[in-house]
Amino acid sequence: MPAPNQPPQPQAIPGVKHIIAVGAGKGGVGKSTIAVNLAVALARKGLRMGLLDGDIYGPSLPTMLGLHDATPHSHEHTIYPFEIHGLKAMTIGVLVEDDKPLIWRGPMAHSAFQQLVTQTAWGELDCLIIDLPPGTGDVPLTMSQILPLTGAVIVCTPQKVAQDDARRALAMFRQLGIEVLGIVENMSYFIGDDGKEYDLFGKGGAEMMARSLGSPFLGSVPINTALRRNCDGGNPGANFHDPQLAEAFNHVAQQVQQQVAVLKLDQPELTVH
């Protein structure tokens, strides 16, 4: 445990080349949805991917990956990740009982998260995606400092209020010296059964904000009922059979890979070797 007012020293995970955090200024914007589908999209490209659900306030990975009845295997001090949908996955949900809210304080969340991340047997990974808790409070801030991050992806919906929160998330990462790989606009637009595009929340708002803050824009994801169904049903692979969703998530994944290549010339690229 770091001394008071001392930032924790980031600790690398042996065998893991890149660690990317997915954050959001507030809850409900689709942060976990983007984290899961980004991980699956990169795994489908042939990368060895891990996914860690660190959202202590509402771990969604058990639902989104269909892990509810699964119990993690552990041996002595090693926890074995779930191998599902082409990913190695672990969730802080294993430490939280479904219907019992836990009051987490910074240091408690810090040590639980650190334990989970360092004791999980990730093996060799090209990239580990971390689904952070939403917001810019003590807990996401501390978690962002526990691991040496390649960078962070921020998820935002198009509305002005969501942008304000995303701006704060961006400022938090920048203040911590963490590269912001870019911003994803979720729930960007809706395509009706009539094939028409409906602009419900102000499509392009997050893109404009990204440009004004000098941050890359990684792509937009539409509101899509199949996406909601597949996420609630624990079947993210099905999103890649839907041309609209496959295109959106593959684009975001490709943009993330490109940003890693641009920013980290001295480090391994996020590609299949």
Q: What mask, x for binding ligand ADP by CB under 6 A, covers residues 31 to 50?
A: xxx-----------------
Residue number, 51 or 221, with CB nearest to ligand ADP: 221
User: Beta-carbon neighbour count of residue 64 at 10 Å?
Assistant: 27
Among 37, 60, 142, 257, binds ligand ADP (CB under 6 A): 60
Residue number, 41 or 126, with CB nearest to ligand ADP: 41
Q: How many residues bind ligand ADP (CB under 6 A)?
A: 19
Question: Rounded to an integer, what distance in angstroms lies between the CA atom of residue 120 and that of residue 273?
Answer: 24
- Least Å from the CB of residue 111 to ligand ADP: 23
Among 163, 186, 239, 257, binds ligand ADP (CB under 6 A): 186
Residue number, 63 or 114, with CB nearest to ligand ADP: 63
Question: Rounded to an integer, what distance in angstroms lies between the CA atom of residue 117 and that of residue 90?
Answer: 8
Site for ligand ADP in 208-247 (CB under 6 A): 221, 223-224, 227-228, 231-232
Residue number, 120 or 224, with CB nearest to ligand ADP: 224
Question: Rounded to an integer, what distance in angstroms lies between the CA atom of residue 173 and that of residue 195?
Answer: 39
Question: Rounded to an integer, what distance in angstroms lies between the CA atom of residue 71 and that of residue 136?
Answer: 31
Question: Rounded to an integer, what distance in angstroms lies between the CA atom of residue 201 and that of residue 170?
Answer: 21
- Least Å from the CB of residue 220 to ligand ADP: 9
Diameter of the chain measured on Cα atoms: 59
Assess contact for 8 and 142: CB atoms under 8 A.
yes
Question: Rounded to an integer, what distance in angstroms lies between the CA atom of residue 234 and that of residue 67?
Answer: 8
Point out which residues bind ligand ADP (CB under 6 A). Answer: 24, 27-33, 60, 134, 186-187, 221, 223-224, 227-228, 231-232
